[in-house]
Chain A
């Protein structure tokens, strides 16, 4: 069955430092891949999504993600973290022809001054 794994439950990063959040998916083929962010007491918002093509996808607020078919990964990164990036980040996979978006367990990002 398809699944998404986010191995890091929590990451703490200093403001201005770089950030990478890991995501591994399990699926035979190339799924549609997404990163969503959940700010405190809010619903999820889309950061970026991947369609087959360029492996590096640009998103909002300086985020980007890189797809690797050989590693079954879709890692998220940001060059310089801001305090407003304090949130929970979810990786998600959607199957072609499917209607359900499957989410990982999420990674909480804390930003220290």
Chain B
């Protein structure tokens, strides 16, 4: 059973629209992350949260907003979508957000922006 659930698996959106990517983890972890993987770039760190607080933000655009309503949830809201946002978005978690910890990844949400 997957312990990190990402919804939906596939998402098609129109340029200029807004979408929310869902992530829930059932590992009891205190830190959660978002990564993006596209054809043009390697796996790219976006955000990290620890105990529901934003710790790091490596995303230049404010169009990407993480939302943590519960400790085991970290959703990603993307506004004003652009074709360049097309990528697979991976949610991950670790026990406490320490730099030597193993990350556990979800299966990803593949976003296509037309």
Contacts and interface: CB of A to CB of B under 8 A. Distances in A.
Given A32-B99, A32-B100, A94-B99, A101 B45 contact: yes
B43 A44 contact: yes
A43 to B, nearest CB: 3
Contacts of B48: 99-100
A104 B100 contact: no
A84 interface: no
Contacts of B108: 43
Interface stretch (B14-22, B50-58, B62-70, B71-79): B50-58
Number of chain B interface residues as a range = 20 to 34
A92 to B, nearest CB: 8
Contacts of B31: 99
A44 B103 contact: yes
B105 A96 contact: no
Interface stretch (A17-25, A45-53, A66-74): A45-53
Interface string A78-113: 000000000000100011111111111110000000
B107 interface: yes
Contacts of A51: 100
Number of chain A interface residues as a range = 20 to 34
Contacts of A96: 99-100
A43 B43 contact: no
B58 A43 contact: no
Contact of A105 (B42, B45, B92): B42
A43 B107 contact: yes
A42 interface: yes
7 contacts: A43-B90, A43-B105, A44-B90, A49-B102, A94-B99, A94-B100, A103-B45
Interface of A: 32, 34, 36, 41-46, 49, 51, 90, 94-106
